[in-house]
Amino acid sequence: MSHNLTTDHSVHKAMAMMGERLSELTNGAVTLRIYPGAQLGTQRESVELVQRGILDMAKTNASELEAFDPVFSVLNVPYLFTSRDHFYQALTGEIGRELFQASRNRGFEGVTFYDSGARSFYATRPIHTPDDLYNMKIRVQPSATAIAMTQLLGASPTPLDFGDLYTALQQGVVDGAENNPTALVTANHGEVSKFFTLDEHTRVPDMLVISSKALERLSSAQREALYQAAHESMMFQKDAWESASEQAIATAKADMGVEFIQVDQALFADRTRPLRNDIAAQSAQSKKMIQKIERLSA
């Protein structure tokens, strides 16, 4: 299994726990070897290796998965998830299972989701309303949806590798980025970006995927053990993430001098509404999935 995070991240800890449970449930017949810190390549590269059956499993996210199947754009729709509870209700039920299987004909499928928090803007100057984003250069993930959202808010989207972001912020190549509070702290972005706007535009989950070839090598009992261990690790990470996120905000305020700005989220949601309509119009599957998620919040 490959991922691009540090070993002290809650997702890595959840994966380690998953490996222990998988070994227990299969009496040692199936073991999990984890390669953290992008040792085996970027998220995109790792998923491509999984797709080809060279690598068994990888952690990626819905933004990266857009490049493999457009249905994953649904998980990047701004303000689609109204709360953390709504997010978990959707992904642990029928909608989550549908998304796991969406890429089956592309050589891989989903195993579980991990919480990556609500994504917000942070920058070298304060953002109180969408108007404050006008002409700001904002680092985004290589996602068509993230790019379109940023443009609707009046900013200039700048796709960059996450590893290059600190220097880009420091040198003024970009004015800000969009991510969660833990990214602000673990990557030290709070040293140069002193304003974090809690607009919480998306809740883009991390997703653990497995190669179809690797899955075929497992017996039905071993597959069930894999799914059980993965689900338990998701629930483990859910609590760990909340604690880590709270700690990150406290650290950013106390040690980095970051100001957290409360905003009227409806102002941002109204500007990005056309994007939800565009994604719903992409396919009958996307429209149906968005409608299912909206009904859950109601």
- In tens, the pLDDT along 218-243 reads 999 999 999 999 999 999 999 889 88
Counting Cα atoms < 13 Å in the Cβ hemisphere of 294 gives 13
Domain assignment present for residue 268? The answer is yes
Residue 176 pLDDT exceeds 90:
yes
Determine the structural domain holding residue 273 and report its residue range: 119-202+254-292
Report the distance separating Cα 31 and Cα 284, nearest Å: 39
Asked if pLDDT for residue 70 goes beyond 90, the answer is no
**pLDDT-derived band of residue 249, with 50, 70 and 90 as boundaries?**
very high
pLDDT at 255: 97
Q: The tokens of 280 are what?
A: 């719903």
Same domain, 267 and 153: yes
What percent of the chain has a predicted confidence (pLDDT) above 70?
Answer: 100
| Whether pLDDT at 298 is above 80 | no
Angle formed at CA 73 by CA 179 and CA 272, multiple of 5 degrees? 65
Q: Report pTM.
A: 0.86
pLDDT digits (tens, 9 = 90+) for 190-199: 999 999 999 9
Same domain, 105 and 123: no
The CATH number linked to 108 is 3.40.190.170
Task: Identify whether residues 283 and 163 lie together within a single domain.
Answer: yes
Q: Scanning the structure block, which residue is given the tokens 């068994």?
A: 56
Number of domains observed in the structure of the chain: 2
Both 64 and 191 in one domain: the answer is: no
- Same domain? For 161 and 275 the reply is yes
Whose structure tokens read 């790019």?
147
Average pLDDT of the segment spanning 123-140: 97
Q: Per-residue confidence at 141, pLDDT binned at 50, 70, 90? A: confident
pLDDT exceeds 80 at position 174: yes
Same domain, 174 and 135: yes
Residues 268, 132 share a domain: yes
Identify the band that residue 166 occupies on the pLDDT scale cut at 50, 70 and 90: very high
pLDDT in tens, 71-103: 898 999 999 999 999 999 999 999 999 999 988
Residues 31, 98 within the same domain: yes
Same domain, 22 and 90: yes
Average of pLDDT values for 40-66? 92
20 — pLDDT class (breaks 50, 70, 90): very high
Q: Is pLDDT above 80 for 281?
A: yes
| Residue 107 backbone class (left: φ over 0; alpha: ψ -120 to 50; beta: rest) | left
Residue 58 pLDDT class (50, 70, 90 cuts): very high
Q: What is the rounded average pLDDT for all residues in the chain?
A: 94
* Alpha carbon 107 to its chain's center: 21
Is residue 5 assigned to a domain? no
